[in-house]
Amino acid sequence: MTVPKKLFIKTYGCQMNVYDSERMAEALGGQGYVETTSQDDADMILLNTCHIREKAAEKVYSELGRLRGLKEANPNLKIGVAGCVAQAEGAEIMRRQPLVDLVVGPQSYHRLPELEAKTRLGETALDTDFPEEDKFEKLAARPKAKRGPAAFLTVQEGCDKFCAFCVVPYTRGSEVSRPVERILTEARDLVERGVREITLLGQNVNAYHGAGSDGADWSLARLIWALNDVDGLERIRFTTSHPNDMSDDLIEAHVSCPKLMPYLHLPVQSGSDRILKRMNRSHTAEQYLRLIERLRTARPDMHLSGDFIVGFPEETEQDFQDTLALVEAVQYGSAFSFKYSTRPGTPAAERAQVSEAEKADRLLRLQTLLTHQQRALQNAMVGRDVGVLFERPGRQPGQMVGKSDYMHAVHVQGDSVAPGDLRRVRIVSSSTNSLAGELLD
């Protein structure tokens, strides 16, 4: 009997990397690998990297340095770097860290089996091409193993926006949308395996324009309506969106589509028109606010999330005050905020930089405001009835934890609840990062 090889994948960054890691594990499954939760007994370690966060490449090199001992103890251990840092750094990774056997970019991971085979022959393997073939088409069919109740499904990759701070167009390439039928087939397969909620993923997901079997170019809204008809699928979400691609039919879907949840992540990055222009965002703060008005008129209970960068090159205190004013106007339920950090090769990297002290001070002030808004909106949920899809046991005996329609973490006590159950819950209290509820059915 052949002993399976063990694969450990460490995933950095966004939900798309989580999805990519799943597909890489499936691709290597055909080579006899099974996943392990421990680096110590792995036959291959893959770092699936992200280039968005601060000092992303340095963190990868630090992690590789920590793996040196494992490699010395087990010379047969194969170490690979995948994802956006792999795409950006390429052969430099192998030059700086000779212990690396394999480097593969995010558009080439369907080639992992052949790359892995090269490492077994004692060769190093590097693939950071943007291949013409569709990686999703080349990947083997997903195995029928049981899945948790919520899953990610990539429908679009790449970005054509070229924001001045962002490396995505260089590491993920131009915008490409997957064909409709392949998405629907994968969604049905996920539902057969126990998934009840699917989040559609894309670097610019609402720019989706996939080829339908009818020969038409489908929008994201039309795709959502098709997914709404998939039996057994109960919830649909999508992320991440650009304000300029928030179309009328997508807003209408938030009103009329029963399975599309009232949650939207809509990054703005800054509230200053001057900085938005320098970021190449192609919209103004006023246009963003008018879009929020339209969304909330269409769906008054919409839970909004956003992204913010503070300390962008040349940002003044007045620019930052404009951002605070926009946040006050929108009232976010959640948000992600970061200090600007340079990305080599992007336009903003060459500009006059804001001091680290100013960045830290502004980030603290922004996060204080965002936290206050988040807590206020969470507290306002008390007394409301919501749907909750339960995903896992909580820390206390008899406790189950899930996500509400609005993406809040909700926990209840009840032996009658199991992972995958979608139940009505009345919210009875609010704490820092979660809500407590009572089962209604």
Higher pLDDT: 131 or 404? It is 404
- The reply to whether 147 and 254 lie within a common domain is yes
Q: What residue type is 106 in one-letter code?
A: P
Q: Is residue 346 part of a domain?
A: no
What CATH number does residue 431 fall under? 2.40.50.140
Q: Number of structural domains, the chain? A: 3
- The reply to whether 110 and 159 lie within a common domain is no
d(CA 168, CA 52): 8
Say if CB 25 and CB 31 are below 8 A apart.
Answer: no
Is residue 79 classed as helix, strand or coil in its secondary structure?
strand
50 is in an annotated binding site: yes
Domain around 415:
385-439
Provide the pLDDT for residue 431.
93
E strand map for 57-143: 78-83, 102-104, 125-127
**At residue 26, does pLDDT exceed 90?**
no
What CATH number does residue 75 fall under? 3.40.50.12160
- The reply to whether 44 and 155 lie within a common domain is no
**At residue 131, does pLDDT exceed 70?**
no
Q: Is residue 173 part of a domain?
A: yes
Q: Is residue 328 part of a domain?
A: no
Q: Where are the alpha helices (DSSP H) in 110-259?
A: 112-120, 135-138, 168-171, 180-192, 220-228, 248-256
- The reply to whether 96 and 146 lie within a common domain is no
Provide the pLDDT for residue 189.
94
Greatest mean pLDDT range, 81-85, 106-110, 321-325, 344-348:
321-325
- The reply to whether 111 and 173 lie within a common domain is no
Q: Round the average pLDDT of the chain to a whole number and report it.
A: 92
Q: Dump pLDDT digits (tens) for 273-324.
A: 999 999 999 999 999 999 999 999 999 999 999 999 999 999 999 999 999 9
Indicate the burial class of 70 (C-beta count within 10 angstroms; 0-12, 13-18, 19 or more).
Answer: middle
- The reply to whether 112 and 213 lie within a common domain is no
- The reply to whether 109 and 222 lie within a common domain is no
How much is the average pLDDT of 335-342? 93
How much is the average pLDDT of 99-114? 88
**At residue 66, does pLDDT exceed 70?**
yes
Indicate the burial class of 141 (C-beta count within 10 angstroms; 0-12, 13-18, 19 or more).
Answer: exposed
- The reply to whether 179 and 251 lie within a common domain is yes
**At residue 139, does pLDDT exceed 80?**
no
- The reply to whether 168 and 146 lie within a common domain is yes
Provide the pLDDT for residue 2.
66
| End residue of a domain, out of 94, 127, 160 | 127
Q: Is residue 234 part of a domain?
A: yes
| End residue of a domain, out of 261, 281, 301 | 261
Higher pLDDT: 251 or 62? It is 251
How much is the average pLDDT of 61-85? 91
Q: Is residue 214 part of a domain?
A: yes
d(CA 109, CA 38): 22
pLDDT band for 59, please (50, 70, 90 cuts): confident
Provide the pLDDT for residue 110.
83
What CATH number does residue 195 fall under? 3.30.750.210
In sequence order, the β-bridge partners of residue 429 are: 436
pLDDT band for 142, please (50, 70, 90 cuts): low
Say if CB 141 and CB 26 are below 8 A apart.
Answer: no
Provide the pLDDT for residue 84.
84
Q: Is residue 87 part of a domain?
A: yes
pLDDT band for 54, please (50, 70, 90 cuts): low
Q: Is residue 318 part of a domain?
A: no
257 is in an annotated binding site: no
- The reply to whether 123 and 146 lie within a common domain is no
C-alpha distance from residue 411 to each of 121, 194, 238, 301 (Å):
51, 21, 24, 21
- The reply to whether 204 and 105 lie within a common domain is no
Q: Is residue 348 part of a domain?
A: no
Q: Which residue has the tokens 């005996």?
A: 397
pLDDT band for 199, please (50, 70, 90 cuts): very high
pLDDT band for 13, please (50, 70, 90 cuts): confident
Greatest mean pLDDT range, 17-31, 108-122, 219-233:
219-233
- The reply to whether 103 and 151 lie within a common domain is no
Residue-by-residue DSSP string for 43-63: SEEEEEE-SSSTTHHHHHHHH
| End residue of a domain, out of 62, 93, 127 | 127
Say if CB 70 and CB 103 are below 8 A apart.
Answer: no
Say if CB 125 and CB 134 are below 8 A apart.
Answer: no
Say if CB 339 and CB 395 are below 8 A apart.
Answer: no
Q: Dump pLDDT digits (tens) for 78-94.
A: 999 998 888 888 888 98
